[in-house]
Structure 1
Amino acid sequence: MKKRFLTTSIALTIGLSTFGGILPATNQAMDVKAATTTNVQNNDQAVAAKADQLIQTGKSLIGQATYSNTVYKPTYPYKFSCASFLMYIFEKNGVDLATYNEDYMIQQGTYVPRNQLQKGDLLFFKSKKTGTDPDHVGMYIGDNKMIHMADSKQNIIISDLNSKPYYTDNYVSARRVLPTLLPANPATKGDMIVQNAFDYKNKVTMSTTNDEKNLRFTGPGFVNYVFKKSGVNLGSTNLKDQMNLGTTVSRNNLKKGDLVFFNSVPGSTTPSQVAIYAGDQRLIIPSSSGITTRVLFVDYYNQHYIKAKRVF
C-alpha cells in the first residue's frame, strides 16, 4: 500500500552540499517514456534462477516481518510496506529496483499480459477510486499465486490470484523487471561500471577530498574511481570537467554507465551533482548521505536535469 517512511533506516534524504546532493524525491510520478532496453542476451535459465532466489528470500520472511507503511526496517524484526518488501528481496539478491514506491515500480521493466505471467513479475492492484497510481504490489511466484506484504493483519502471505474479489477486481497490470534489471550476457562495459558502483556502495566514505587508499571520495571522485576500476579513465575528479567529457546523449537514449548531471537551481547549466545511469531509469547517486539509488521518474530530477554524457 502507499507509504511515506518516517524512519532514517533507509537513506531517503539527500541534502544539497559540497558533494552536490539531491533533495529527496517526491511521490509524484512523471509521465515519461522509459529508456528501457531488454537484455535479450540473458538466457531463460538465468532469469528463472534469479526468480527462484527472489521467491526463496520472500518466503523466508514469512512470520519474520510485519506490515508498516511508515517504517522500513531491513533487520529482524522486519517492517515493510508492500513495495519496500519487494525492494528488499530484490536488493538482497543483487537486483536494485531503486524505489520503495509501487507507482515507480509500475514504470520499470516491460508490460506483461496477465495470461503470460512468469515467476518474478511484479503485479499491481488499485482499489482506490481516485488517481491513477496503484496502491498495492506483489510478486508472481507461479501457479497463479503471488507473494506479498498484504496488510497489518496478514503480513507476508502467499495468495491465489483468484481467491478474493480484491485480486480479481482490482488488478491493474504486471511488469517484467527480469531480465531488464539484470546485466547482459556477456556483460557490457556499462554493466561492469554499474556493478562496480553497487559493489562499492557500502564500502566507501563520502568526504570533501579524495583518498583512494582509504576509499574516501567526493561525488565526482567516486565516479572517477568506479570508472577506473572498470577500465575507463575519466582523468578528472572535477564535476565541471566530467560534464565536458564524451558525447551528449538524449534522456530517451540513456544506457548503463552514462553520466547524468543535475543542477541545484532549475535552468542553470552549472552542475551540482553527477550520477551514474544504471539502466531502466535507475540512478546511482554519490552524495553526502552516501551512495544511494533512485529512479529518474520523479519531478525533482526532471526539473534539475542538465544533460547526460557517454564517455566510453
Structure 2
Amino acid sequence: RGFYYDLGYIPADKLHESVSRTQEYAYDDWAMAVLADAAGAKEDARTLRKRSLNYRNVLDASIGFARPKFSDGKWWTPYDPIQIGHMPKPWWRDYTEANGWQATFLNQHDIYGQIAMFGGDAAFENKLDGFFNGPSTLPANAPPDITGLVGQYAHGNEPDQHAPYLYAYCGAPWKTQAMVRRLLTEMYKADPDGIIGNDDCGQMSAWFILSALGFYPVDPVSALYVFGSPLFDEAQVDLGRGRTLRVRARGNGPNSPYVQSVRWNGRPWNRNWISHAELGTGGELVFQMGARPSRFGSAKRDRPPSFGRSPS
C-alpha cells in the first residue's frame, strides 16, 4: 500500500487492478474511520476519513468514468469504458472483475461527493441511465464473472450490486424501485442454476433476501438501509429476544413495483431509508405499492445520508 499512501492511488503502471484496489482501499479507510471514531481515536478517525476520499483520484470527472492513472499522474489513453485494462501484459487488468463502466460506481460511502463531481443530481441520474440502458458490449478478454448484464450493469458479479439503489441519492427513487423489481424477477429462478452468477460469500443470495424484503445496505458501514421494491406481500424476520420484524406490501403485484408511501409501526414514514437500529427494535414496516411512479422519498430531506451527511 506504499503507492496508495504516497500518491493517494495505486498507479496502473506499477500494479494490476489498480483502479479497484484504490477504490476498495478507500472504502477500507472509511470503515476504519467509523471504528476509530467509535473507539474514541478521533485523530485517527479524521486521518482515515480524509484518506477514504482517495477513490476520487481514479475518477476522471472530465469524462465521468473511473479511469486508470499512471505513476506520473497521467490518465490512461485512449479510454474505453467497456475495456478491462490497458493490457501491457495479456493478464493485466485495471479493474477487479469489472470494466470502466462498472468500476465507476464502486463508491458506497461518499455518494453525494461523487454526484457533485459528476455535475449534480440530473447529470448523475443520466449517468446511471446510460449504465443500465446502454448496450451490453464486452471485450473479448472480459472475465467470465461479468454476467447478468442489464446494459453495462452486471448483476452476476459483486462490485456494483448496490448501483440500482443509487438513484435514491439523486432524487429518482422510482428508478431504483423499477430496476430492483426487474432484477429480483429476472436474475433469480427456482432452479438448480437459478442464480445468474457466482454466490461469492453469499452476496448474490444476500442481495435477493434483503431486496425482496424491500431494503438494502448500500453502505453497510453506515448501518442504514435504502428502500427498494418489496417482492413479497408479507414477510417476517425473527430478530431474536422476542422481537419480530414484519414487512407488508399492500397493493403489491407484478405490475406494481412502485412505492407510494410507507408506514413504520403505524406512523407515516417519509424518509426513503431506515436505520439498522430502528429495524432492530422490531415492529411493522408497511409499503403501499402502485403501478405508477410516485415522488415518495425524492425530496432532499428524505434521501439517505452518505459520508455522515444528507444532501445539501
Higher strand share: 1
- The question of a shared fold, defined as TM-score above 0.5 by the shorter chain, is answered with no
The answer to which structure, 1 or 2, has the higher relative contact order (CA under 8 A, 6+ apart) is: 1
What interval of TM-score do these two structures reach, taking the shorter chain for normalisation? under 0.3
Higher helix share: 2
The alignment's TM-score, normalised by the length of structure 1, stands at 0.22
The alignment's TM-score, normalised by the length of structure 2, stands at 0.22
